[in-house]
Every structure is written in structure tokens, then in C-alpha cells.
Amino acid sequence: MYRVKEMNWTLQGEGANSGRAAVLVRFAGCNLWSGLEKNRATALCTFCDTDFVGTDGPGGGEFRTPAELAQAVAQVWRGELPHGGRKFMFCTGGEPLLQVDEPLLVELHKQGFEVAVETNGTLRAPPGIDWLTVSPKAGAPLVQTQGDELKLVYPQVGAEPARYEELPFKHFFLQPLAGPQLAENTRRAVQYCLQHPRWRLSLQVHKVVGIP
């Protein structure tokens, strides 16, 4: 059984694939926070800005089999690919690797999708993911230590960029921590990227343009 909070036709809003047309699938549940405000202060991740509780969002629901979910994802895709190429989808959460498994990836590939996943890195990724983004959280164990991009929410005490920059990722992004200090965090992230050119700035473009 796969539990999905929401499923949207949108543009990818963060990281190296920012601006790309995609089906976004937000899986319910996380292993670093319950998603309930009453538990935020004691969670391993206290700054999450996403609702991943339940299955009541647009396109959300419970899907019994990998094929059923893959077919639902295919129905959300609206783009044209006149010159060929693969459809693109992005799995997020919560923590998608609590549910994304090899059988689901096989079915998504059958539907013609390139599959991207963003994880907090505390779980080992199954084979078959086409684009893997790891976003470490301070205080949480980092098990998945390689992938396509490392996207670090910044700043985090105990998760400084220097801790990760020697890991085998193709791209390194700093994303300013959202909230009341966003402007200052953005300034600091910009300054860090200027001083350490291996890192690139990632902004939440979907929030800027007002799409899911």
C-alpha cells in the first residue's frame, strides 16, 4: 500500500531540475517528524514547511499496488513530448523512501517516466532511481552518502556545508532556510556560495511564482 498526500502537475521548484515540467508526488509520512505541530519542537527536523500528513490533498489517496500508483501518475502528466524524451516526475514527502521501492520504480519506468527522488538521506535508496537528491538534516544519521545532488538547507547548526562537500555528488546546493529569517538566511547562503564556488544557490521557485 502506497499512501500519497498529493499529486500535482507543476514545475520542479528546487535544485538542478528547477523549472522543469513534472508530476510531483508527495508521499505521506516522515521518519524525522510526525508532521503534527505539537511534536515539532522535539522532532529531529524542526523546520519542515510542508504538510505531508494524511492522504487528503489534491490527487492524494491510497494505492494498493505499484501499477495502480504508476497509472495514476501517468494520468496527471499533461505535457507534450514531440521530439521524444521521457516524462519527468519528482517524489518527495515527508520522506519518500519510506515507501518508494524497486517494484514501484519498475512500473513508473514502464509508464515512460524519469524518476527523481528527494530524501533526507537516512534510508538507503533502492536501485532504479534516475535522479537522487539528498537533503541532510542536522542530528539525523546520513546513510545515503552519494547521489546526483546534495541540497543542504542553510544554515543548520551541526550540518555545516564543509561536512558534506567531499561526498561523491555531482551537484552541491545551498537552499536558504525558510521562515521569518529567510532574507538573512538568503544573504548568508549567497555569501557562502560566493566564497565557496563548489556550492550553488537553490531557491524555492515554485513559491516565488505561486504554484504547487
- 110 CB neighbour count, 10 Å cutoff: 13
Query: How far apart (Å, rounded) are the C-alpha atoms in residues 151 and 135?
Result: 5
The architecture in CATH of the region 2-152 reads Alpha-Beta Barrel (3.20)
What pLDDT band is residue 202 in, cutting at 50, 70 and 90?
very high
Q: How do residues 163-201 score in pLDDT, each as one tens digit? A: 999 999 999 999 999 989 999 999 999 999 999 999 999
Across 103-127, average pLDDT:
98
Residue 80 in this model has a pLDDT that exceeds 90: no
Do 196 and 161 contact (CB within 8 A), yes or no? yes
Tracing cell 519518500 back to the chain, one arrives at 96
Q: How do residues 135-163 score in pLDDT, each as one tens digit? A: 999 999 999 999 999 999 999 999 999 99
- 78 CB neighbour count, 10 Å cutoff: 9
SS3 26: strand
Domain extents in the chain: 2-152
131-134 β-sheet, strand order:
61-63, 2-11, 21-27, 87-92, 113-119, 131-134, 147-154, 169-176, 199-201
Measured in degrees and rounded to the nearest 5, phi and psi for residue 76 equal: -80, -30
Provide the 8-state DSSP code for 146.
-
What pLDDT band is residue 23 in, cutting at 50, 70 and 90?
very high
Residue 162 CB contacts under 8 Å (≥ 6 apart), including other chains: none
Do 25 and 212 contact (CB within 8 A), yes or no? no
Closest C-alpha to 5, from 129, 128, 123, 98: 98
Query: How far apart (Å, rounded) are the C-alpha atoms in residues 38 and 52?
Result: 15
Across 89-98, average pLDDT:
98
The amino acid at residue 61 is G
